[in-house]
Structure 1
């Protein structure tokens, strides 16, 4: 007995009749999945399925049919519930892409599968969609504006080119909508399809970290992960030949990403966007008003303690204005008569540096290494506004990379430890950020904790009431090519 995309065997049951009535393109006479697509369809009991695909490996073609097959299954379950006991009047599904234009390909494939006698194209509340004669609607939405992905709940979704979408759209708003609805014991589901981005496309780091990695691990038995290769797209022999040719001509990383759907292993420096000539300043020109933050990384053994002071101005630009720290730096003063400075001029304790910085800069919050609650409590009892930082390593690295790329962070030339680490910190052989050599970087990451969701768009929300001009910094620097010494004049 052969099993096809909708589980068709020798006989057709009610579930299959519903599927082929609504979506005749699912019938095995019209759809013959490749082996890699067949494995993908076999994961229908998984709630979240990720397909990482080479370019033109058949992901959109297969995903459209999987999307329709899942909807057909939901329709069968929904109609099996007495009308008076149904938890909602109809089923709602979203197709999401980075922009509305990019939903076009997905829409075309779904319409090839669907029965034109059973739906009509209809725009409701400015959202284009397919409204079926049964209680089903499919809407095509952009993931570019996170707040556009709001509703009372959806039954399922397909996110195409998911790695290019904004994190808050997918992890925040969309995921919340998926938690709002169930058909009996069956929760809402989501398909994620994407081509892995290039290694320097830092904006997609959130997708690998929060979606791809859990899927690879089969987290909670809810996630499944598949890779589609162009060579596996046997329905298009000419593409298979093109892939074989590309393997001989392209470097290994590009070939694996573009033709095998594999995510690039990170190598080299972490902050390739950091440019000492561009991002290090002598005299800042900060747009007032400003908010001040401090980050502290506590040292262990031979590792130094590190402190960084950051000002966030009205344009959403971060200015690292000062740093302190060294090995064997005590947390607090041992006596009131002890000197706040060592013989070489460095602050004797973390408390001494904190006290001095708070007297100089408008620091409102201090975020510290959360692994040392004992030191945090000592500083808090001494009267300092310090709490444990709550920033993830991957998210804060992505955020820093975004800030450097968009020229929204600048560092005082006297912060020599931080500048040195930014120019040297790299990935290890496993593709993970190396251990060590990141103490002032950690302090800087911790200082972002009060902001919440780490993205430039959220920074502008965070400084609500300021007059933010997101592009001004980049435009000024790129247009006139200023050096670090001349940087302050660019903002006048």
Structure 2
């Protein structure tokens, strides 16, 4: 039997204790996990526990999804499907239980090879504490799929913020679904046009965040401007490979406003590919670029490629001082085409204490690649205890 699976599924066939797929609507996470489990259960005798926090009846489970995929794959002759369970001719079986009401039953369930936790955004910390040691068979795995809700939710904290060892984490969204159709795409674009925050949550799988925890809360909006040709653009670059590489082009307008005009944002780029990538941002070869000093070999390579690129100075407190500078502008405008910058401005946040719910002064080192590039672009203006008046004096 052959069937097509998206590229992200490849890692799920490798041995990891935790396999996590999270993201937004239209990604096909559950559909493809069901497909993979059916394929695996045909190849090897497996005992699979399918669970979620709340399952009042079998209708609340993935029973129907698995049953439908078995029929669609043309392998129904290999399975026996009843109202309460699914079993294969080779002895594989799928068990369906809810965590909240059946946790004692799950604790007494032996020999689980694989546990699939669906809609895991709702799973409580207490349920995780009980479930994980229950799945104790040698080489057993826990598969997790969910659409994030709050960043402070137990599942997001346990697997995304504090990723455990021996885990593969895949953010899977609509663009990762080769079968994403035009009807869903129309819905996606309609929401994007009217509510960017909700769009990022629903379609890009970003968690809802307390607005006060967002570093750039209240300071920015999406708007295309036409800067005067007399204005000098500022460029900043942040390096990555597994993490994104980002290049930002921005302007300071009337000593009051910051306008982010263009971006390059890419993952997995080799050094040899960067010159062409940077040329996608207009004028990047004609002005100075301030780049992350942590990668001097890339800076030297880019200089040889003809870019006027220089290392950042950084220093103690440079991140907070850079954020202070960016927030010193009366308003920050972001060109609508800078989708990655928009996303990171929506997500870059301070940590929230899980117990008290209070916002801490500690930054989450995530969703900040375009913002780091922006800090480097404006580094010449950064001074301790900066305010808008010292900025104007610098300009």
TM-score, normalization: structure 2?
0.49
Structure number with greater Rg is: 1
TM-score, normalization: structure 1?
0.40
